[in-house]
A and B are shown apart, each in its own frame.
Chain A
Amino acid sequence: MKTRTLAIECLRYDPQTDAAPRYQTYEVPFTDEMSVLEGLQYIKDHLDGSLTFRWSCRMAICGSCGGMLNGVPKLSCESFLRDYYPEGVRIEPLNHFPIQRDLAIDQGDFLLKLRSVKPYLIPEAPKPVSEGTYLQTPQQLDDYYQYSKCINCLLCYAACPQYGLDREFTGPGALALLHRYNADSRDAGKAERMELVNADEGVWGCTLVSYCSEVCPKGVDPARAVNQNKVESTKDYFLRFVAPRRNT
């Protein structure tokens, strides 16, 4: 098997010794089928055991290994070293998040936002198992299916300058998941979630840059979810004049 060598430049940051990040370059031998993640694993195993990065599944399901590859948010497990040959690749942690160490970011802010959108089905009334399963038509499934494919990899947050400029903004990923439940025929929690949609940190923080949808590795199209909810938010605002809200 033909082996070539590629320069992988990694952002390094050690909170105990560094005031600011620096860059370190490693010469990594690679074969055609090696992913960028495997390049990082090669560095960790053979060149520098102190390099820190997150990974788990190696097949674009877990959403752990996202990073900025030459400035573009990507999953390193489904990006290939051969595509960066011969120029080399610069790997940085996902933009717009605090760096904990090297390529590992602090996702705490996103996890709080994820919880705030109530990402679970809120049925109208509890339904015992004895009453059977919920039924949906293919169209009802289609209404939310693409939004349910989110793996929380945060590439969309790294792509969103509005989140970078204002970290109060709920952001594309959490809002897409909010829409995933609002659009589900089994769910009755929309009124509860509209408060967040309408809030200052809700959908109106989006200026439709739509780079989030470009970089999404699962075809979720978060920009679409956010902007459909601008319509919902507008309807919610004006409809209260003709149809009083139910108290929830």
Chain B
Amino acid sequence: MKTYMRPMTGWWRRNPFYLWYTLREWSSFFLTAYALVLLYGLARLSEGEAQYEAWRASLASPGSLVFHAAALLLVLYHAWTWFKVMHKTLPFLRLGGRRVPDPAIFGSGVASAVVLSLLLLWVLA
């Protein structure tokens, strides 16, 4: 029987849900790029103080600041999306014979990320 198959071209623009999903996937590239910048800094550190300070100074350039601001926003969004779907990756959790509600899993994930980030900031400061 003759049928018609619709093309998938531009599927990610067809629905806001897909747009947010695509942004989530692209944010991984920024996460990777940020990790590589840090790794590069570590390599400079192993070469001595002058090289490390030069790397640190390069971070203050306007381009680098824009990149880091974008990376921060995208990493925050990335983390948020994974907490949103965290419950889907887990078997049913039960406490006292009752299922832990999905919003509680999401809330505990976000709360622990916020607390740990603040703790890290406090230690560094």
CB distance from B111 to the nearest CB of A (A): 22
- Identify which of B31-39, B42-50, B83-91 touches chain A: B83-91
**Interface extent on B, as a size class?**
20 to 34
CB distance from A67 to the nearest CB of B (A): 13
Q: CB distance B89 to A15 under 8 Å?
A: no
Within 8 A of B (CB), among A218-240: 221, 223-224, 227-228, 230-231
A209 interfacial by beta-carbon distance below 8 Å = yes
CB distance from A134 to the nearest CB of B (A): 21
Q: CB distance A231 to B21 under 8 Å?
A: no
With a cutoff of 8 Å between Cβ atoms, the chain A residues found around residue B25 in the complex are 207
Given contacts A99-B3, A142-B99, A161-B8, contact A230 B92 (CB under 8 A): no
**Interface extent on A, as a size class?**
20 to 34
Q: CB distance A211 to B99 under 8 Å?
A: no
- Identify which of B12-20, B57-65, B72-80, B112-120 touches chain A: B12-20
Q: CB distance A211 to B3 under 8 Å?
A: no
B95 interfacial by beta-carbon distance below 8 Å = no
A187 interfacial by beta-carbon distance below 8 Å = no
Q: CB distance B88 to A106 under 8 Å?
A: no
With a cutoff of 8 Å between Cβ atoms, the chain A residues found around residue B11 in the complex are 161, 164-165
- In Å, the complex CA distance between A72 and B89 comes to 25
Q: CB distance B99 to A95 under 8 Å?
A: no
- In Å, the complex CA distance between A209 and B18 comes to 8
Residue in B closest to A92 when the chains form the complex, CB atoms: B6
Residue in B closest to A166 when the chains form the complex, CB atoms: B8
A213 interfacial by beta-carbon distance below 8 Å = yes
With a cutoff of 8 Å between Cβ atoms, the chain A residues found around residue B3 in the complex are 15, 98-100, 106
Given contacts A99-B3, A161-B8, contact A221 B88 (CB under 8 A): yes
With a cutoff of 8 Å between Cβ atoms, the chain A residues found around residue B6 in the complex are 21, 95, 99
- In Å, the complex CA distance between A98 and B7 comes to 10
Q: CB distance B15 to A211 under 8 Å?
A: yes
- In Å, the complex CA distance between A13 and B1 comes to 13
* Residues of B that sit less than 8 Å from A by CB: 1-6, 8, 11-12, 14-15, 17-18, 21, 25, 85, 87-92, 94, 97, 99
14 more CB-based (< 8 A) A-B contacts, given A15-B3, A161-B8: A13-B4, A16-B2, A18-B4, A99-B3, A106-B3, A142-B99, A143-B92, A164-B11, A165-B11, A208-B88, A209-B17, A223-B85, A223-B88, A224-B88
